[in-house]
Amino acid sequence: MRHSHLICFLFLFFSPLLKAQPLPGLSSSNYGGLYRVLQNPSAAAGSRYRYHLIPAAGISTVNPTLFRYFNSNDYFGQLRLPYSDQLARDLRGIGSVTNAPATNGWSELIGPSVLVSLGRAHAIAVHTRIRSYLTGSSLPEPLTNAYRRGLYSRVLQPAEGSFDFNLANESYAEAGLTYGLQVFNGELHRLRIGGTLRRIVAAQRRTLTAAGQYAIQTNAGTNEKTLSIQNAAFMSQSSVPRQGFRLSGDDLGTGWAYDLGATYEIGYQTSDRRNRSAAGLDDLRPAYILRLSAALLNNGQIDYRSGTSQSGSFSQDFNQDELDRFGNAPLEYLASRSNSTGQYLAETVNLPRTMHLEADLRLSPAFYVNALRVQNLGGREVYPSQLIITPRFEDEDSEIALPVSFIGPDNRVAVGLSARLGPIAVGMSDLNHFFNRSAENRSTVFWLGISAWKLQSVKN
């Protein structure tokens, strides 16, 4: 679709900051390795792995239409936007993990990363990521349908009203170093702590605010409708943009961040310690009764250099051809209506902090029930607070979990699926998108990764 660029432009400012997004099931698993370390650095200590390597893994919010049309442009769309001059993105992939009026979506690419255990008491991990996220308010549903389906769609009904939204997109690359320490390893309880220091580079930030009135009207004698935008005012700001796929430069944003975590286990550490009478038993599966953990994530800030700002106003009647022209070059379209161009002043932006509180109950040697509370700690809410209840089955080589999430202030329920089979990890946070065709504006968190590992020996 030619007017897909329109939504790409809007989504460029819609996607939220990805702040330590949990992967339900995988991030709570005892065999989660680096996936768990990225959510709680204390998980590095006492890991089941001698080493755990992730060559590549991806996390992205996607709209259900991705699975209906198998449009690869939708996956990692936010991640590619800062590097795209054409802003090419299919409009059907826009959505949000939260209900209106909020908009939340993100992408993250985990690059080559490794966790190494130094015995049972110490561990270090080195990890790299590229992240892009966006937060803000959403457009009214009639406007969303006009962009997604086009003005010829029979589903699109006449409507009128006002719109007032604000959006922010941030993207950056980072490299992190994690250290985990097992402070105490008793017969029936253990305490582990950990910390991560992250260096942020190649940061870019864009914001957009717009307000006005709209009307969708039926044209006599034709199926096409007219979209009328009246008294629309806008202002956009952008820090210095990246040129190509570069991760360094004095004109790009930089910063530092850190994560802290602690884990306390009650019960035996492994099944062979619980059953010492069985000579030669090498069962290293966890045997704790309860695991409690807490993590404070994304503490830090990014310093942005100066950039540019534009503001303007316009009124315009759009037929499908005009909507396509806007969608094919939205930046140029708005720039032609800008009556004020200025400098975007340098600023320091705090990262949105979150706290993870977790309880993991072991019901049998391979079956667990996990409760995870993700809580925003003030400031910008780029990822919604939520409660995730996850029953899971796990062993060394395979795992399956069914996370049930209660998302945002309205406790929207999402039932997901997470699986690990050998080196492949895959999952999504909301299976509803396979069955509910009316949920086109809602997104699911989808992840896919590969890894290699070597388990700890009985001696260790």
What 3 state SS string does 335-350 have?
Answer: HCCEEEEEEECCEEEE
Taking 80 as the threshold, does the pLDDT of residue 196 lie above it? yes
Percentage of the chain surpassing pLDDT 90?
A: 33
pTM of this structure: 0.81
Phi, psi at 134, each rounded to 5°: -145, 145
Distance CA 2, CA 226 (A): 17
Give 248's pLDDT tier (boundaries 50, 70, 90): low
Q: Please say whether the beta carbons of 26 and 418 come within 8 A.
A: yes
Taking 80 as the threshold, does the pLDDT of residue 177 lie above it? yes
Distance CA 276, CA 93 (A): 55
Residue 212 maps to a domain: no
Give 321's pLDDT tier (boundaries 50, 70, 90): confident
Distance CA 205, CA 61 (A): 19
Please state the domain count of the chain.
Answer: 1
Q: Which tops the pLDDT comparison, 440 or 397?
A: 397
Taking 70 as the threshold, does the pLDDT of residue 139 lie above it? yes
**Distance between first and last Cα of the chain:** 58
Distance CA 36, CA 401 (A): 15
Residue 85 maps to a domain: yes
Distance CA 83, CA 287 (A): 47
Residue 403 maps to a domain: yes
* Domain carrying residue 271: 4-138+163-205+237-311+340-455
3-state secondary structure of 66: helix
Taking 60 as the threshold, does the pLDDT of residue 276 lie above it? no
Q: What is the DSSP string of 76-108?
A: THHHHGGG-SS----GGG--BSS-TTEEEEEEE
Residue 297 maps to a domain: yes
Ranges 40-49, 83-92, 309-318, most confident? 40-49
Average pLDDT over residues 388-417: 89
Residue 61 maps to a domain: yes
Taking 60 as the threshold, does the pLDDT of residue 61 lie above it? yes
Distance CA 439, CA 265 (A): 40
Q: What is the pLDDT of residues 440-460, one digit of tens each?
A: 556 778 889 999 999 887 554
Q: Which tops the pLDDT comparison, 441 or 183?
A: 183
Average pLDDT over residues 351-365: 91
Q: What is the pLDDT of residues 300-316, one digit of tens each?
A: 999 988 788 888 888 88
Q: What is the pLDDT of residue 39?
A: 92
Residue 320 maps to a domain: no
Structure-token match 């209660």, residue found: 406
Q: Which of 210-224, 378-392, 421-435 has the lowest mean pLDDT?
A: 378-392
Percentage of the chain surpassing pLDDT 70?
A: 75
Q: Which tops the pLDDT comparison, 195 or 47?
A: 195
Residue 442 maps to a domain: yes
Q: What is the CATH number of the domain that holds 21?
A: 2.40.160.40
Taking 90 as the threshold, does the pLDDT of residue 282 lie above it? no
Average pLDDT over residues 165-185: 89
- The tokens for 152 are 């010829």
Q: Please say whether the beta carbons of 119 and 45 come within 8 A.
A: no
Taking 70 as the threshold, does the pLDDT of residue 156 lie above it? yes
Distance CA 244, CA 183 (A): 45
Residue 147 maps to a domain: no
Distance CA 397, CA 331 (A): 49
- The residues, any chain, with a CB within 8 Å of residue 387's CB and separated by 6 or more, are 371, 372, 373, 374, 405, 406
